[in-house]
Amino acid sequence: MKNDPDRRNVVVTAKGRSPDDRAEGGIDVLGRTHLQGIAERVLAEASADQTEVMIAANDSHLTRFATNTIHQNVSETDVSIRVRSVIGHKVGVASGNDPSDSALKELVERAETVARFQQENPEIASLPEPKPIEEVEAYVEATAGSTPIERAKGAKEILDRSEKRGAEAAGAFSTEAQEMMIANSRGVMAYHRGTVAEVMAVVMGKTGSGYAAEASIDVRRLNPAKVGEVAVDKAVRSADPTDIEPGEYTVILEEEAVADMVFFLGWLGMGALSVQEGRSFMTGKIGQKVTGDKITIWDDGLDPRGIPLPFDFEGVPKQKVVLIENGIAKGVVYDTFTANREGKSSTGHSLPAPNTMGPIPINLFMAPGQATKEEMLAATERGIWVTRFHYTNPVHPMKTILTGMTRDGTFLIENGKITRPLKNLRFTQSILEAFENADMLGSELKMVKSDWGSMATCAPAARIHGFTFTGTTEF
């Protein structure tokens, strides 16, 4: 198998690289020079009117644990190559993960063949021209070089705390180094490298559960001991949960729950295509009030508090875009296609081709307030404390109505104190209405990593009145 020329599932290693491929401050998965060489070989093979190549390399490592035992250490080093060919007003895309000369030639041929068989789309315009890209420090050697022993030590901090309290912990400690290069036949040659680390735990008690997680581009900023303490404490305090009737309640949502809503808001309606197609809550609302005054949301791919990426998947530099400011709808994000429709410039928010979603914000931030969670709790006469949501899905995108479940730490608040654990509840709630009724926001932002790749939302905790719960559970 090793010498099979037709093998396509090739794992790419960093062996044999020259010193030139060593980036200052650390070693890349493949290196800028190597990735640029792949891109240039692709462009040299192309015969289409215009050609784009996206190369994404990653070196990922995962230490997974369950029932208070580490049971898996896995690593993967791989590269993904995606070619987009433009022939007239037709576009074709093909992808693979073999950087050999023969495979790259075949990849280009497939993309061009796909393009020739497409229908003409007069709205398809040119690929973008090169523009200056601001560099952002997103690569941390400590993260890229994290070892299984280091991750195991972090996991042990969680497992020891769980075992001590008679609970069982499951979760993972992951680290990843990533590289991306976007190049096209018009001169774009954009390169970025970054890292990300995450530790998370779900702790099960006899009749309750708790959750905690932290993520950062710098593994040294993570505190597995604190993650373990928080998750174990919630699992213990969640024991023997009680019933409560569905209805409207004041809620204190922790950062993970707020980030979930902000993410869905961006996905459902903060991209230009959703507005152009009339399926966004922002359609016809720019300049109008859509939430309460305390809500300001923006997207910024250069902010190191998230997971920075200075350009999009077309190689266009990312701009900071204010989406909602003090409750007023301000704007949406664009890629090249949607910007050309309106005679505007792309804001640098393209997704990898092909996609039917259009541009979306993937580096979201929500402005903090001035309250601590303790102050929110003390100010609440009766309400429900929510750790996070689970299995959240849209019900009515135009009205931003979501439904999902509370999970891993739901508690009743009475007279400014948490008095008893609650069985999980189903919520059905408009995000915009919830943000209209938010009267207290946390003073700290937390970066919450998405399950969908290296996307993150930085959000505060929030107190919201009139939050609608529509169902109960037996656990």
DSSP annotation of 64 reads E
Residues 198 and 249 in one domain: no
Residue range 229-248: mean pLDDT, rounded: 98
Instruction: Single out the residue in 204, 231, 265 at which a domain terminates.
Output: 204
Residue range 221-245: mean pLDDT, rounded: 98
Residue 77 lies in a domain: yes
Tens of pLDDT, residues 251-267: 999 999 999 999 999 99
- With residue 345 as reference, give the H or E element that holds it: none
Q: What are the residues facing 210 on neighbouring strands? A: 203
| pLDDT at 276 > cutoff 50 | yes
Residues 342 and 413 in one domain: yes
Share of residues in the chain with pLDDT > 70 (%): 94
Residues 180 and 312 in one domain: no
Residues 164 and 306 in one domain: no
Task: Please give the order of strands across the beta sheet that includes 328-329.
Answer: 328-329, 321-325, 297-299, 363-366, 456-459, 446-449
| pLDDT at 150 > cutoff 70 | yes
Total number of domains in the chain? 2
Instruction: Single out the residue in 204, 225, 256 at which a domain terminates.
Output: 204
Tens of pLDDT, residues 334-367: 999 999 999 999 999 999 999 899 999 999 999 9
Residue 80 lies in a domain: yes
Instruction: Single out the residue in 180, 204, 228 at which a domain terminates.
Output: 204
Residue 10 lies in a domain: no
CB neighbour list of residue 206: distance below 8 Å, 6 or more residues apart: 166, 239
Residue 437 lies in a domain: yes
| pLDDT at 464 > cutoff 50 | yes
> Where does the pLDDT of residue 19 fall: very low under 50, low under 70, confident under 90, or very high at 90 and above?
very low
Residue 85 lies in a domain: yes
- What is the dihedral angle through the alpha carbons of 44, 309, 361, 368, rounded to the nearest 10 degrees? -170
Residues 51 and 97 in one domain: yes
pLDDT at 338 (0 to 100) = 98
| pLDDT at 289 > cutoff 70 | yes
Residue range 202-225: mean pLDDT, rounded: 98
| pLDDT at 178 > cutoff 80 | yes
Residues 195 and 296 in one domain: no
Q: Are 366 and 337 in contact (CB under 8 A)?
A: no
Could you give the angle at which helices 224-237 and 148-164 cross, rounded to 10 degrees? 30
Q: What are the residues facing 84 on neighbouring strands? A: 52, 93
Residue 223 lies in a domain: no
Residues 251 and 197 in one domain: no
**The domain containing residue 351 runs over which residues?**
241-475
> In angstroms, rounded to a whole number, what is the distance separating the alpha carbons of residues 165 and 143?
31
Residue range 17-25: mean pLDDT, rounded: 36
Q: Are 148 and 61 in contact (CB under 8 A)?
A: yes
- For the chain, helix, strand, coil in percent to 5 are 25, 35, 40
Residues 307 and 190 in one domain: no
Residue 407 lies in a domain: yes
- What is the dihedral angle through the alpha carbons of 298, 303, 305, 310, rounded to the nearest 10 degrees? 110
Domain CATH code at residue 125: 3.30.2290.10
DSSP 279-307: -STTTTTTTSB-S-TT--EEE-TT-TTS-
| pLDDT at 220 > cutoff 80 | yes
Residue bearing the bigger pLDDT, 6 or 288: 288
Tens of pLDDT, residues 23-56: 333 444 689 999 999 999 999 999 999 999 999 9
pTM of the predicted structure, to 2 decimals: 0.93
Residue 404 lies in a domain: yes
pLDDT at 33 (0 to 100) = 95
Tens of pLDDT, residues 300-329: 999 999 999 999 999 999 999 999 999 999
Tens of pLDDT, residues 65-120: 999 999 999 999 999 999 999 999 999 999 999 999 999 999 999 999 999 999 99
Tens of pLDDT, residues 3-12: 333 322 333 3
Residues 288 and 392 in one domain: yes
Reading the block at residue 163, the tokens are 């075992």
- With residue 181 as reference, give the H or E element that holds it: strand 168-184
Residue range 222-229: mean pLDDT, rounded: 99
Residues 182 and 247 in one domain: no
Residues 149 and 64 in one domain: yes
pLDDT at 453 (0 to 100) = 77
> Where does the pLDDT of residue 454 fall: very low under 50, low under 70, confident under 90, or very high at 90 and above?
confident
Phi, psi of 361 (to 5 degrees): -80, 130
Burial of 221 (0-12, 13-18, 19+ CB in 10 A): middle
Residue range 385-404: mean pLDDT, rounded: 98
Residues 193 and 329 in one domain: no
Q: Taking all residues of the chain, what is their mean pLDDT, rounded to a whole number?
A: 94
